[in-house]
Structure 1
Amino acid sequence: MYRRHWPTALGLLAAMMLGWYLIYTELLVREMRRDSVAHSRIYVHILRGLNDPTEGAAEQTLLDLIEEVQALEVPIVVTDADGIPAFVSNLPFDADPTELNDQIRIARYTRDLARRNTPVVEPGLGTIYFGDPPIVGRLRWVPMLQVGALLVLFAAAFWMIRHNLRVERERIWAAMARESAHQVATPLSSLEGWVEILRLPAEEREPLASISAVAAEMEADLERLEKVSRRFEWIGRPVRREPVDVPALLRGLERYVRVRLPQLGRGVELRIEAATELPPVLGNAVLLEWALENLIKNALDALAGSGGSIVVEADATIRRRVAIRVSDDGPGVAPALRRRIFEPGVTTKTSGWGVGLSLSRRIVEDVHGGRLVLEPTEQGATFVMTLPSADGAERSD
């Protein structure tokens, strides 16, 4: 059986055990009701014997009671003062108390009964050994069935959780691979464009860009490739944090995105607004730039085909923190997705993998101890990234 079928098999086994447990319980209930009927009949026989004035009624009542007791299937052995069996009923084997060989066998059985229940000594009659009714033996299986069903359920739940985690992990890895390919493809396509420009004759190339400008852009693309190679390496492991100049970070990101706006989002206006004298934040510049880039790309995807504006604002807040808002005037996020928008795999795009916002939140919250939320708005979408300032983080340490 394939490993992926184990959760289903365990779930079916657990369902079968629960079904069997329910049937078994119903059979026990029916047997207990039959015992209740037998006990009621015994009571009726006693009342009848007490109220019957005819001769021999008492003896007949006792004989009827013996039959009713035998119907309860409780094993009983009565021995005389010498320990010799005088009366037996409902033994699990055929035996004659008058036969010597059977007496030996019955004696062994009485010792077993004595271990289960304390014998009753009746002066003038002898010792009464008795066992348990059949229902007691069946009731002993109930805890075992319950424990077995619980174990199977726990095993099924464990395997299902492991299976779901493995599927989720594989899906995230596939999304990460796709995101990595996308991250690499952008600067590679840009380098390919710059190479085509360099191949043009000088008289055609100069109106487009000078050699120094092309070299500067190619250098920026190479730096971007180096950053991409480090980004995925740093996810999930401790990184060195240092003071990061937020306005400088935003300006560098603006330069990179603005040059590529014709390819990334036609008709989209990008505006950066950073407060003056903004305190630096304590973090990793490469990862923070990645998180902001994902938010801007998310806004570009929301405005694809329709145009619009993206505004990135940064200002200081109380409690020594810096807030960075990325807003767009696109269609916004559907109410049904607002609570799950940061979960891996959740996306509003038909061809998306739902990994960008999840990575951004992980970078902001897990790596930098900040917070990333989707702010309620009437139009468009606004993501707010709150980060501790370098001064505030050092004081809290």
Structure 2
Amino acid sequence: MDIYRKKQRWKQILLLAAILIGVGSLWYTNRLVNDIKETERQKVELWAEAIRILNSADFETELAFPFYVIERNTHIPVILTDSEGNILNHKNLDSLKVRDPSYLQRQLEHAKEENDSLVIDLGNNEYQYIFYRDSILLRKLIFFPYVQLGVIMLFILVSYIAFSVSRKAEQNEVWTGMSKETAHQLGTPISSLMGWMELLKESELNPETVREMQKDASRLEKIVDRFSKIGSKPTLVESDLNRILKGSLEYMKNRGSKHVEYLLDVPEAPIRAKINETLFEWVVENLCKNAVDAIQGKGKLLLHAVETDNNVIIDVEDSGKGIAKSRFRTIFKPGYTTKRRGWGLGLSLSKRIIEEYHHGKIFVLSSEPNKSTVIRIILKK
């Protein structure tokens, strides 16, 4: 299992743990709410019994306890009505609004929706009804787990964003430092090689051999230039993309497999966009090289470019083994490779160059096993 599968597995485990914690919190709070709700109903039943005793009391009835029960209810809103629905009494409602009949009526409707009424039998076919609402404490408790989970999720989101920004900044520093150091380390020996090449030109060696050596030395010099530009903010200049695509395809044709058919599909009129030629050429070569490596035996590599009103679209299509849909994003992550000796940096660098330096997009457009894979680049004009 590669590092990105492990990372994905850990994300799934953490997500499952978060869901279990959330469900557990909601279940426990709901159980607690039901217990408190039952306790409040028992208190209202006791309150109803106290009302019944007071209404049916005679001179010998002890009234201290009923009055005590009624007075002790300080947090459960209750409304007492007759059999015709007229409000006779109320308790624990907003003291500033109780003079408004519409307010009392609204509270009565809410009470009917929240809880079943209690019937007080006064005898002689006379009845009164008690309607009650959940206490403020109970209502707060019902919403508490949602508020709690919301705060936790907000904290996790902010922490994740902060961590991602910090990690990205750290990765940028690593990329920049690595690129500068690579350019520095290669620069000196390549300068020496270029000097030796000048001496070889004056020797009796085969001129064709010297020219090929000169090409490879120039190639190394271009690689150093690419790394140096990765380590600094590159300058974007309006360039002819047709020329760059053609040059990259010609390079792959001379260096790549002879069993691959190299095709270019671009309009006759030059497609122009603001790019850094050195870095963009590197991206195209990376994509072409990966495409050729993916082709087993005979196949084709097609570079297709078209422009719209606002964008330039470049597709790199090959007839190789394809990419699993689950890996469409993973292939652009640092270190991911399917090659035995690959470093897994080519596509990651390509993504960085296109998205961070050119403010464009690069992604796998489509892929069918052993048939076709298309990687698309979108640049702003």
Report the TM-score when normalising by structure 2: 0.56
What do residues 103-150 of structure 1 show as CA deviations (whole Å, max 9, x unaligned)? xxxxxxxxxxxxx979xxxxxxxxxxxxxxxx9795698589976665
**Change in CA separation of 1:153 and 1:370 when aligned onto 2, cut-off 3 Å:** closer
Which secondary structure does the structure 2 equivalent of 1:313 belong to?
strand
Whole-angstrom distance in 1 between the partners of 2:255 and 2:373: 22
1:32 aligns with 2:40: yes
Query: CA offset at residue 293 of structure 1?
Result: 1.8
What do residues 181-228 of structure 1 show as CA deviations (whole Å, max 9, x unaligned)? 999999999999999xx99xx99x749x52243123312321221122
**Change in CA separation of 1:268 and 1:276 when aligned onto 2, cut-off 3 Å:** same
- The higher relative CO (CA closer than 8 Å, separation ≥ 6) is in 1
Name stretches of at least 5 consecutive residues in structure 2 with no aligned partner.
Answer: 1-13, 76-93, 97-133
**Change in CA separation of 1:225 and 1:307 when aligned onto 2, cut-off 3 Å:** farther
Matches within 5 A, 1:17-56: 25-26=33-34, 28-46=36-54, 49=56
Structure 2 partner of 1:246 = 241
Name stretches of at least 5 consecutive residues in structure 1 with no aligned partner.
Answer: 1-7, 51-56, 75-115, 119-134
Contact 2:332 2:351 (C-alpha < 8 Å) held by counterparts:
no
What do residues 140-171 of structure 1 show as CA deviations (whole Å, max 9, x unaligned)? 98589976665455334422443355456656
Find 2:338's aligned residue among 346, 349, 373: 349
**Change in CA separation of 1:387 and 1:65 when aligned onto 2, cut-off 3 Å:** closer
Whole-angstrom distance in 1 between the partners of 2:160 and 2:266: 50
Find 2:364's aligned residue among 368, 374, 377: 374
Output the amino acid matched with 1:159: S
1:333 aligns with 2:341: no
Contact 1:267 1:307 (C-alpha < 8 Å) held by counterparts:
no
Identity across the alignment (%): 20
Structure 1 partner of 2:294 = 302
Contact 1:45 1:64 (C-alpha < 8 Å) held by counterparts:
no
Whole-angstrom distance in 2 between the partners of 1:274 and 1:153: 49
Output the amino acid matched with 1:34: Q
Matches within 5 A, 1:1-397: 25-26=33-34, 28-46=36-54, 49=56, 57-60=58-61, 62-69=63-70, 72=73, 150-167=150-167, 206=206, 210-234=209-233, 239-242=235-238, 244-254=239-249, 256-258=251-253, 260-261=255-256, 269=260, 271-273=262-264, 275=266, 277-283=268-274, 284-303=276-295, 306-317=296-307, 319=309, 323-338=313-328, 340=329, 344=333, 347=336, 349=338, 356-357=346-347, 359-361=349-351, 363-364=353-354, 367-368=357-358, 372-376=362-366, 378=368, 379-387=371-379, 393=381
Output the amino acid matched with 1:224: I
Whole-angstrom distance in 2 between the partners of 1:359 and 1:343: 8
Which secondary structure does the structure 2 equivalent of 1:60 belong to?
coil
Query: CA offset at residue 292 of structure 1?
Result: 0.8
CA RMSD of aligned residues (A): 5.2
Report the TM-score when normalising by structure 1: 0.54
Whole-angstrom distance in 2 between the partners of 1:164 and 1:278: 43
**Change in CA separation of 1:322 and 1:230 when aligned onto 2, cut-off 3 Å:** same
Whole-angstrom distance in 2 between the partners of 1:170 and 1:20: 42
Contact 1:326 1:384 (C-alpha < 8 Å) held by counterparts:
yes
**Change in CA separation of 1:279 and 1:349 when aligned onto 2, cut-off 3 Å:** same
Contact 1:343 1:358 (C-alpha < 8 Å) held by counterparts:
yes
